Chain A
Amino acid sequence: MTNAVLTGLVLGGMYALIAMGLTLQYGVARIMNLSYGEFLIGAAFASYWLFTGWALNPLAGLAFVIPVSFGISYLLYRVLLTPLVRRARTRDALEVDSILATFGMMFIVQGIMLTMFGGAYFSYSFLAVPVTVVGEVLALNRLIAFGLAVVVGLALYLTLTRTRIGTSIRAVAVDPIAAQLVAIDVTRTSALAFALGGALVASAGVLISMFLTFSATSGVVFTMKALIVVVMGGVGNLLGCLVAGLALGLSEALVATFIDPGLTLAVNFALFLGVLLVKPAGIFGRAQR
């Protein structure tokens, strides 16, 4: 029981972190990024490559992966997505366009990774040392991944609520028209939020690669789970990401332990539908627009 809860918390912490990035991209920049999970896998491969090829500790690799992924996402928004933002007359139109564009991007990124690494599953052994937590044995890498996810999530929360630039990002999410009236450059701030989301999912990719196996095609699972968590928690709500992410992780681990590991996806969607039936705008979402 305790082991299932611990596994669930670690997994849920990862889901929450992944979802926070997506909620930044979707809630602020209004880009529904279907290639989101591909960037997670990309970062996982980068971490694998740095570890096996250069013997670089994945935690040190973060210092390299985070800025690079931030830069790539920023350029992606500026070069590929800004034209869509410019021509979109409404937010809804932008959503449709961005879904189509990022759906295409998903295949491109996936194709590149398939060519480079093939379709096999990858993993590497880093800090796979057993440690005892509240009487249960857990791998150290999972524990560290969870701890870092907490640190990153907290840092993001404090940045968004305590700084001027963070408050500007939230202002764009709340009302992009009014944001212009307080001298916020909405396009620039959206690019920043999109890039921040990219950096978050990349850091999650590195952390996950430390204890899960992954392949060039497993990104879509993470995109889907991030989407479920974001919608379940309420779009644009960080606390919602945390609660929904943990709920998802816990339910998966409990079902896998006590019923059947094959049912994890089923319980994902059962939870998702259950929440939406009771609260259509998500746990912390407000019905608006």
Chain B
Amino acid sequence: MSIQVSRLTKRYGRQLAVQDVTFSVKPGEIVGFLGPNGAGKSTTMKIITGYLPPTSGTASVMDMDVVNHPMKVKRSIGYLGEHNPLYHDMFVHEYLNFAASLCGLRSTQKRTRVSDMIGLCGLEAEQSKKINALSKGYRQRIGLAQALIHDPAVLILDEPTSGLDPNQLIEIRKLIKAVSANKTVLFSSHILQEVKALCDRVLVIHHGSIVADDKLDNLMKGGDRTLTVAFMEDVNIDLLRQIPGVTSVKPDGRGKFLVMTSSDIDIRPRIVSWASANNLSLLEIKLEEHSLESVFSQLTQQETKGE
């Protein structure tokens, strides 16, 4: 396993940040780590990088325990922190050289890696500028470049796209996709489209516990589906409820109805035939895509109610 976390718990004083978290990431997998702010994503990642010690439980990277072999683990991890801390008064190439030296790269190897990373992350034109003169998008590229400088087997990216404009977002996403070809990536975010675009598997964490760990497609399957239906005429809502497969109907307040259905069966034909049988003119019928957002909010809200 590239990353193995078992029964991990972290307390900050009295506050429980991460509680009994267990998951593993196989080599070559790209895993999205989802959760609302403050759910424990960053804490879990910091423990995996060996920066924070766990209160209990274990974490290992490339089958090496992070507490017992911190140096070996740090050598095999590339980490991009949440706020992407950089030395703002350093030049780009100077900073990357420094990062490479810290990772133990020497002379020729260091030179080739630094110039490779500058090329890969599209920093050629900016390499002789000071970091504080660069935009957020470029800083994020520098952050990625330094995380990749020693060609680590495991990449840990903590919200790599937060605070970027839509164009930069797409560029950074492309870059992550490109560099992650033969690496294991654990990637945190609360932007759901991003996870959709990048990840094979999703871990959802809420209040310090894992509430879902599954393939993206599986998560999007099942559960309730919603149809938006609109008629020209006034409709008796109770008659609408009697259509087989409908679990509940709510007016949305603008003359439309939100029809909930529990099954995977498409009930649209039934509604259409029901409408013609009752001499109603159907204006609109739309099946809401079962979105990651709804799965996410369901998962994280259920948990809150359960407490």
- Real binding pair: no
Residues of A within 8 A of B (CB): none
Measured CB to CB, the residues of B under 8 A from A are: none
